[in-house]
């Protein structure tokens, strides 16, 4: 499976931490880096299903590449959102769809997070892939005669 360089670098950063507390500190650091999310985009169409926290993801397409934005009302979840945005933004829709969620185990976060947060991380990832797929389908429809 495809793993983009930006995502691989973040995965390595987390994998080097053997202590759950340090992983949580890294997530808070990522949360602080997240760009401001437009309040007007906090609508049900952008809400990630299956998350205990309120999580929103939007995806825009520019020059054939997907750019994500997101937010959460939980700092740790906001860190997970930021992690995924940094790792997946700037890829083509097809590249986003080629990424396997198995990288989550490589971070070690799956053992540090509560089961509901680990499930939320997966749901955020799948929502980002779904939004990339929507852009890919729109691109395909545009290229039809």
Q: Which residues are catalytic?
A: 51
Say whether 48 sits in a helix, a strand or coil: coil
Say whether 30 sits in a helix, a strand or coil: helix
What is the C-alpha separation between 112 and 130, in angstroms, rounded?
A: 26
What is the C-alpha separation between 15 and 12, in angstroms, rounded?
A: 5
The residues, any chain, with a CB within 8 Å of residue 71's CB and separated by 6 or more, are: 34, 37, 42, 55, 56, 78, 81
What is the C-alpha separation between 132 and 60, in angstroms, rounded?
A: 9
């Amino acid at each position: 499976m495809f793993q983009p360089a930006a995502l691989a670098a973040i995965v390595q950063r987390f994998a080097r931490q053997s202590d759950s507390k340090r992983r949580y500190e890294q997530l808070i650091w990522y949360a602080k880096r997240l760009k401001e999310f437009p309040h007007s985009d906090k609508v049900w169409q952008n809400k990630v299903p299956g998350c205990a926290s309120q999580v929103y993801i939007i995806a825009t397409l520019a020059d054939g590449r997907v750019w994500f934005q997101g937010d959460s009302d939980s700092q740790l979840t906001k860190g997970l959102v930021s992690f995924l945005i940094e790792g997946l933004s700037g890829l083509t829709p097809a590249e986003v769809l080629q990424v396997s969620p198995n990288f989550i185990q490589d971070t070690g976060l799956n053992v540090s997070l509560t089961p509901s947060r680990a499930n939320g991380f997966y749901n955020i990832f799948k929502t980002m892939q779904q939004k990339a797929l929507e852009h890919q389908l729109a691109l395909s429809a545009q290229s039809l005669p």
